[in-house]
Amino acid sequence: MRRREPLRVFLAEDDLEVRRLLAHALRKDGHTVIEFESGTQLLEFLGTLSRGASEESRPDVIVSDNRMPGKSGLDVLASLREVGWRTPFVLTTAFGDAATHARARAAGAFAVFDKPFDVDDLRTVVLNAGRPTGAVGSKVP
């Protein structure tokens, strides 16, 4: 069985400073963090993983900003869920209106954070999201 801690976290955030801050905090917790600067880049990488990558190279948790160039975090989440990929997904957004939260929850987001948020809260949610043993889809668009 795959060890659940430290976790393998995929982080998509187009703001370099925010991405660095979040990645640093998660790495301090011992997690492996793979960074992406767009939802499109994240989705493309997940697609390559679905074509033969080992279980150890798959993410335990995905953290993604919503508004990014190309694919939004909600686009990525919807695409993953459409093909059965069930990795816990944490959405962050600077535009956290009720409709965005509702769409994220309906699509299966584990959590939604409105910016600015407490990084320690995100760290806790990532750890909790990575604990359950959920089914991970075998393909990505």
Specify if 136 maps to a domain: no
Specify if 91 maps to a domain: yes
Specify if 56 maps to a domain: yes
Specify if 137 maps to a domain: no
Domains identified in the chain, total number: 1
What CATH number does the domain containing 39 carry?
3.40.50.2300
Looking at residue 23, what is its pLDDT?
98
What is the average per-residue pLDDT within 3-21? 90
What is the C-alpha to C-alpha distance for residues 11 and 29, in angstroms, rounded to an integer?
A: 15
Specify if 95 maps to a domain: yes
What is the average per-residue pLDDT within 113-121? 96
Looking at residue 24, what is its pLDDT?
98
What is the C-alpha to C-alpha distance for residues 78 and 81, in angstroms, rounded to an integer?
A: 5
What is the average per-residue pLDDT within 59-80? 96
Specify if 87 maps to a domain: yes
Give the list of residues 6+ apart from residue 54 with CB closer than 8 angstroms, or none.
none
Specify if 138 maps to a domain: no
DSSP strand pairing (32-36 vs 89-93): unpaired
Lowest mean pLDDT among 73-82, 113-122, 125-134: 125-134
What is the average per-residue pLDDT within 103-114? 96
